[in-house]
Amino acid sequence: MKRFICGLLVSWVFLVGNSANSEPIFHEVYYPAGDGPFPGLVMLHTSGGYKTILPRVETYVNKGYAVYTPDFFRRHKITSKSRFETWTTYRKPIEKELVEILSLMQKDPKVDPKNLFAVGYSNGGYWATFLAAQGHVNAGVSTFGVWSWPKTFNGYPAKYLRKDSNPVLALHGKKETVQRFKNVVPQINKASSISPKFKYHYFDNAGHSWDCRACKKDGFNSEVTAQAVKMTLDFFKTHRK
């Protein structure tokens, strides 16, 4: 099955339904041209839902990654309004469901099972941290990710980190109006104190969703977008086997 993404022909798209909880959660797979095996990338969406991840896929497919895009909202009927349930009511089920996606990737003949990575945006940044901190991927990048939120304060995602965690890179803007910088810094400092492989970078002139032209929060920043993509790719390259 084939699909065009922004004019790019992706060699195959794999759709999995989720009518029964014994099945993996809904996801799509996008491959570069060629036979592979390719390094695998789990790309994790924002609280705006699954559609928010699709414009970001092409960049990484063009760089040679097989990209899996799980929808971790759909099964649990989570919406942007109920997004806090992602990290409370459904935290444990989502952990299990994302690990199942990694198991599928490891069995995919077009994916190199020794080189699996995760990148997440906002809500998805929380889950990219989980996957790397708990050793399910070689490395993970949290891009304007969730580090704190009101009324829960249960210590996650920093609490996922441990001394032997796999590398995590947190990219965050100092002009955030969603994941406010003053609230995020203590959590990032906590993560950094736990894991020697935890790294972070703060962009002076970036807010939330800096790579999204259509987003209303904080504004698009092409320079920061380019820097963040380069830092992400370099981080993954450093941790390839």
User: Cβ distance 132 to 166 under 8 Å?
Assistant: yes
Confidence grade of residue 186 (pLDDT, cut at 50, 70, 90):
very high
Least confident of 105-114, 119-128, 146-155: 146-155
2-13 mean pLDDT: 44
pLDDT for position 219: 84
Mention every residue, 6+ apart, whose C-beta is less than 8 A from residue 84. Answer: 149, 150, 151, 152
Q: What does the pLDDT read at residue 8?
A: 45
23-52: average pLDDT: 96
Sorting pLDDT into bands at 50, 70 and 90, what band is 214? confident
Supply the pTM of this predicted model. Answer: 0.92
3-238, which class in CATH? alpha beta
pLDDT at 11: 44
Digit-coded pLDDT (tens) for 45-63? 999 999 999 999 999 999 9
Give me the pLDDT at residue 215, please: 84
Say yes or no to pLDDT of 7 above 70: no
Which pLDDT belongs to residue 71? 98
For the chain, the domains span 3-238
Is residue 205 over pLDDT 70?
A: yes
Longest dimension (CA), the chain: 48
